[in-house]
Amino acid sequence: MSSNQEDLLQLIRDTQNYVSHLQQLGIDVVEVASASVIERPLKQSTVPIPKQGTARPQTTPVTGVPPKAGGTVDTLFGDMASPAERLCASTESFESIHQDIGDCTRCPLHLKRTNVVHTEGNRKARLMFVGEAPGADEDIQARPFVGRAGQLLTKIIEAIGFKREEVLIGNVNRCRPPGNRPPTLEEASMCKPFLLREIAIVQPEVIVTLGNTAIQNLLGARQGITKLRGKFQDYKGIQVMPTYHPAYLLRDPSKKRETWEDLKRVRDYLDSKKTSS
């Protein structure tokens, strides 16, 4: 037996010992060739050399594990990628959340508000809309999206085949900021946990975020709405579609076409889910 064969024989024996160790740990492994294969004389084989100008045949390395979609391969310990985080279903009620909020004084916005404006609509909705904060009309009526922007939102909802009472509508903040300014990070942080608890109760299939404040607070996004709009994002297994706020569309009607394209994607997605179920 040649020295090369002896080295290869020792390598196989070492590998067999390692495989035996892995099996004792309960880890599935592939079979290793018997050392007796090496003890037989190795047959010499010739490989034809391609003629000059002839393309070499493409070869694929054998790994023993078929690649997954996307090109990833399981390791010895399985797929090492972290599982996608899913939103746990909640058994609490909207009423209990409203009780927790109470006559809220957690941030300075309570000093000039008239009413706390809670999320409203179908509590089993497939589709949810999340805006920024109440305006003057909402502050008076204690209902979200009832002013001019709310009337436009109602038309948008109806245009994609829903009625307002079939969807869920809310805001990141429940108190009106002075002059309808965006809520600060501190103000939003006081209200955001209550919104997330409501989402956990309803488990909508799609959330449409309206404007920068909504998408930045729900997903922690750093980019603005002009870069994020029209592309589905993920919030713990729920599809999120960022688009323009209706109040912005009233100031710049040229953005209505882009918003309509975004909402058509939402409609098509929900229709596809309804068909497949």
Rounded Cα distance between 132 and 112, Å, is: 17
DSSP string covering the chain: --HHHHHHHHHHHHHHHHHHHHHHTT--------THHHHSPPPP---PPPPTTPPPPP-----SSPPPTTS---BTTB--SPPPP-PPP----HHHHHHHHSS--SSGGGGT-S-----EE-TT-SEEEEES---HHHHHHT-SS-SHHHHHHHHHHHHTT--GGGSEEEES-SSPPGGGPPPPHHHHHHHHHHHHHHHHHH--SEEEEESHHHHHHHH---S-HHHHTTS-EEETTEEEEEE--HHHHHH-GGGHHHHHHHHHHHHHHHHHHHHH-
- Topology (CATH) of 94-276: Uracil-DNA Glycosylase, subunit E (3.40.470)
Boundaries of CATH 3.40.470.10 in the chain?
94-276
Report CA dihedral (58, 63, 65, 71) to the nearest 10 degrees.
Answer: -60
Predicted pLDDT at 146: 97
Predicted pLDDT at 179: 93
Q: pLDDT tens track of the chain, all 277 residues?
A: 666 667 777 777 777 776 665 566 555 544 545 545 444 544 444 445 445 554 444 444 434 344 444 444 455 555 555 556 788 989 999 999 999 999 999 999 999 999 999 999 999 999 999 999 999 999 999 999 999 999 999 999 999 999 999 999 999 999 999 999 999 999 999 999 999 999 999 999 999 999 999 999 999 998 999 999 999 999 999 999 999 999 999 999 999 999 999 999 999 999 999 877 6
Alpha carbon separation from 61 to 66, 67, 85, 112, 252 (Å, rounded): 11, 11, 34, 69, 57
Predicted pLDDT at 4: 66
**pTM for the model:** 0.71
Q: Which two tokens stand for residue 149?
A: 């922007």
